[in-house]
A and B are shown apart, each in its own frame.
Chain A
Amino acid sequence: AQSVTQLGSHVSVSEGALVLLRCNYSSSVPPYLFWYVQYPNQGLQLLLKYTSAATLVKGINDFEAEFKKSETSFHLTKPSAHMSDAAEYFCAVCVDTGRRALTFGSGTRLQVQP
């Protein structure tokens, strides 16, 4: 079975600073990996996804993530944080498109300080 670990339930950065949110996965077969963002009392919005094409994936709002098989990681980065980036971020994995269930990490709450 697959699993996702997000290191750091809370991350705080200053506006303009680099954002790094960590995600490690466990899977016995090549995974599909996703990052979603959730704003308070809202649903999840897809930021980006990895589906075995390029290992560096670019998403919306200048976010990107790099798939590193050797490290079983899919960390999310953004060069310069904006106040509007404050939200909860979830990493998710799907290993069987036939079954399709996403397994989510526990989430990382990003705070952006002025």
Chain B
Amino acid sequence: NAGVMQNPRHLVRRRGQEARLRCSPMKGHSHVYWYRQLPEEGLKFMVYLQKENIIDESGMPKERFSAEFPKEGPSILRIQQVVRGDSAAYFCASSPPTGQGLSETQYFGPGTRLLVL
């Protein structure tokens, strides 16, 4: 059973460009979470999604950031008009559906390291 997959692993963008980060959850998992890790800091929650629904986006910046988890395909975290402060590691996690064992446990992907020049 493959783990959570994220691509690209590394992404370089110039200021003003768009960044698209992809996350494929573990097989059978229907919940996806995005976290951001700034250098020398812990992870900060951004958004929690289920298929075609945003459940909690309380950690998302109000502007330039959006996330989706379509019925088919990976979850996408999109950052428009990137700025240098967006440089960070972005981690995706997934968990099983509610009601199944270990539904509260999140399994993390390897992350996408975004560098904005």
Contacts and interface: CB of A to CB of B under 8 A. Distances in A.
Nearest to A9: B40
A42 B110 contact: yes
Interface residues of A, number: 24
B103 A97 contact: yes
Contacts, number: 63
Given A32-B104, A101-B58, A43 B111 contact: yes
Interface string A94-114: 100101111111110000000
Q: How large is the interface on B (under 10, 10 to 19, 20 to 34, 35 or more residues)?
A: 20 to 34
B31 interface: yes
A49 B106 CA distance: 11
B48 A106 contact: no
B69 interface: no
A101 to B, nearest CB: 4
Interface of B: 4, 6, 31, 33, 35, 41-45, 48, 55-56, 58-59, 91, 93, 95, 98, 103-111, 113
